Amino acid sequence: MAIAPNKKDAKDEAEVARAPRKKSNKKLFVTIAIAVLALLVAGAGAYYFLVYRSSGSAAESKPVVQIFVPLEVFTVNLRPESGDSQQYLQAILSLQVPSEKDAQALKDRMPEVRNRILFILSAKSASEVSTLDGKVNLTSEIINALKKPFMGSESEQELTGAYFTSFIVQ
- Reported as a pLDDT band with limits 50, 70 and 90, residue 17 is low
- Could you tell me the pTM of the whole model? 0.62
Q: pLDDT tens digits for 50-79?
A: 887 665 555 555 666 789 999 999 999 999
Distance CA 156, CA 170 (A): 35
Q: At what angle do helices 110-122 and 100-108 cross, to 10 degrees?
A: 70
Q: What is the overall mean pLDDT for the chain?
A: 83
User: Is pLDDT of 32 > 80?
Assistant: yes
Torsion on CA atoms 35, 38, 39, 40, rounded to nearest 10? 120
* Pairing between β-strand 88-97 and β-strand 161-169 as defined by DSSP bridges: antiparallel
Q: pLDDT tens digits for 102-120?
A: 999 899 999 999 999 999 9
Helix (H) or strand (E) holding 161: strand 161-169
